[in-house]
A and B are shown apart, each in its own frame.
Chain A
């Protein structure tokens, strides 16, 4: 039985081999770095992914039906990005919306945890 780390490591190994072959053709540094960087990025992602799931298998899943705070955070982030073109006023507005959403999100996650402990 293979484990997820094998899939990630195996794929990362394929990328590494391809990067090494590219080296044989004397590319400029940044070109080689793109492929090598992808392999490294994958490793970083693998570390994140393989942090074990925090709850046992059969535990109840009090995931809410809806999560409006998440939507508000997403809209806020989008407004921040648009603020890059429109100006600092929009950036500030977006940051406020994100803060509002995060506040609601923290409350939501706390309530979810309390629910689980019941």
Chain B
């Protein structure tokens, strides 16, 4: 056992002081920053989810029953913006901020103060976006991915839209800063013996994620800055090619961000599948290469969001988009190959992991469908696409988040989440998710466009929309069960100990929760699954002794 770096001179290695208000506001510990970020993201999740329930109530039947056209436009904008900028991206990066330092044996995240500032800028950005609802002309109302000239000052006036533009920029700046810190940690702060090729799959998924964060997030900040300039100082995008230029700048961020919202969860699922199959993750080196290839490709596909403009090189973007099949296929192979030959235990994390694998697949396959320009000419901007991305982001990433939550909650708090409530949460969420989003493929293919408050009764869209709405309320109940589980588990405190799942990676080699500087001692780093190595080594020695 190698000696740990000595704890801070300023504090002896004694019992951790309880977290007071100052810690929650200004604590520099990456674990506190991460939990703070996740907590804020969950609040935004409930807000954005509530908005979705209002939207689904409106769409359940033809005719305007719940809100006006104008209000609906604000609602769908804050629903999508909330989920992408304020919920899933922060949840993904928060996971990395908590577990990358632990998995690489580091005592702290790189540039911890930067991470702390990133959190606050993100939260203030989110608050600014939502505060737009309180203004005269309403909040942002051009969708999460605005087009120009609609988003210009002439067609969408009012300070609420400016608050949306600035709030979005702040949220992305905050997450950029957090991503920079996570990447720096993996590349610079690894404990001796933790070579790059001994970093666990989750850490590699965070490296790939943060490479995209570092290269694409600044472009969004630039695009929003230019948009704000256009709105109030002097025209930027008003030439004939301006609207297309704005879309290029936006989608150069807008595509990688959806992979930022996917990779950390596929990494977490990889850890969970390995742990609950009691096996080393299969195909590690090909998995690492395919993550990096996946990330690089994701930077090159952005104009597949612009196929119907007739102004981009459809062939190139279709080529690179289809090429995503290769790394995605490799990852699926590795995940399933880890299960085959394993000894699988179906605890809640594993259930959510399997849910992720099967449901994300539907999102991924429909993604290949829309990667074909002629098909996209039909389904672009329809509910087919809405179904596609809800399968990847909700049925995929959010299930991956719940898998990670159930898996790592005992490490973060010292306490297990309840299995019974977990299983109820899982099964209800599976039903709700599929009932909500599967009908959307049919609605979209039959001609229902997206971002509409209402549709004519002659369209025949009413029945499937009603079904979808029922599903949405089932989702709400399932999420409520999760929140109840959090509450109940923290009150009843069923201790999980250091390593409740027989984990394989370094975070399980310290207390739950870990002390301020993470480790009081580290085992030998012999591979990307050092604890599994240790267990297998001990079992071998026991066998030799017995023989």
* A residues neighboring B (CB under 8 Å): 1-4, 6-8, 10-11, 14-15, 18-19, 21-22, 24-28, 30-31, 34-35, 38-39, 41-42, 45, 49-50, 53, 57-68, 70-71, 73-75, 77-78, 81-82, 84-85, 105, 115, 118
Give, as a whole number of angstroms, the nearest-CB distance from B234 to chain A.
14
Check A49 against B292 for contact (C-beta < 8 Å): no
Closest chain A residue, CB of each to CB of B228: A84
Known: A3-B196, A26-B313. A65 touches B516 (CB 8 A): yes
Give, as a whole number of angstroms, the nearest-CB distance from A76 to chain B.
10
Check B228 against A30 for contact (C-beta < 8 Å): no
Check B166 against A2 for contact (C-beta < 8 Å): no
* B residues neighboring A (CB under 8 Å): 5-11, 22-23, 25-29, 107-108, 112-113, 116-121, 124-125, 128, 159, 162-163, 166, 169-170, 180, 183-184, 187-189, 192, 195-197, 207, 211, 214-216, 218-219, 228, 232, 241, 245, 248-249, 252, 292-293, 295-297, 299-300, 302-303, 312-313, 315-316, 319-320, 516-517
Check B211 against A11 for contact (C-beta < 8 Å): yes
Please indicate which of the listed interface residues A21, A31, A38 has the most CB atoms of chain B within 10 Å of its own CB: A38
CB neighbours (8 Å) of B120 from chain A are: 71, 74-75, 78
Known: A18-B299, A49-B184, A68-B22. A84 touches B215 (CB 8 A): no
Query: Which of B9, B116, B187, B296 is within 8 Å of A4, CB to CB?
Result: B187
CB neighbours (8 Å) of B189 from chain A are: 53
**Distance in angstroms between the alpha carbons of A50 and B189 in the assembled complex:** 11
CB neighbours (8 Å) of A59 from chain B are: 5
Closest chain A residue, CB of each to CB of B320: A18
Query: Which of A11, A25, A34, A82 is within 8 Å of B315, CB to CB?
Result: A25
CB neighbours (8 Å) of A64 from chain B are: 10, 28
Query: Which of A22, A39, A70 is within 8 Å of B316, CB to CB?
Result: A22
Classify the secondary structure of B's interface with A.
helix
Give the 3 A-B residue pairs with the shortest CB-CB distance, closest first: A14-B296, A74-B120, A74-B117
Give, as a whole number of angstroms, the nearest-CB distance from A60 to chain B.
5
**Distance in angstroms between the alpha carbons of A10 and B116 in the assembled complex:** 30
Query: Which of B23, B180, B292, B303 is within 8 Å of A14, CB to CB?
Result: B292
Query: Which of A4, A10, A58, A71 is within 8 Å of B117, CB to CB?
Result: A71
Give, as a whole number of angstroms, the nearest-CB distance from B165 to chain A.
8
Closest chain A residue, CB of each to CB of B114: A70
Check A62 against B9 for contact (C-beta < 8 Å): yes
Known: A10-B292, A53-B188. A61 touches B125 (CB 8 A): no
Closest chain B residue, CB of each to CB of A3: B196
Check A21 against B316 for contact (C-beta < 8 Å): yes
Check B313 against A25 for contact (C-beta < 8 Å): yes
Please indicate which of the listed interface residues B5, B292, B316 has the most CB atoms of chain A within 10 Å of its own CB: B316
CB neighbours (8 Å) of B125 from chain A are: 78
CB neighbours (8 Å) of B113 from chain A are: 67, 70, 105
Known: A7-B207, A15-B299. A31 touches B292 (CB 8 A): no
Closest chain B residue, CB of each to CB of A66: B26
Give, as a whole number of angstroms, the nearest-CB distance from B86 to chain A.
14
**Distance in angstroms between the alpha carbons of A105 and B187 in the assembled complex:** 26
Closest chain A residue, CB of each to CB of B5: A58
Check B214 against A81 for contact (C-beta < 8 Å): no
Closest chain A residue, CB of each to CB of B225: A84
Check B300 against A22 for contact (C-beta < 8 Å): yes
**Distance in angstroms between the alpha carbons of A8 and B319 in the assembled complex:** 24
Check A78 against B124 for contact (C-beta < 8 Å): yes
**Distance in angstroms between the alpha carbons of A72 and B119 in the assembled complex:** 12
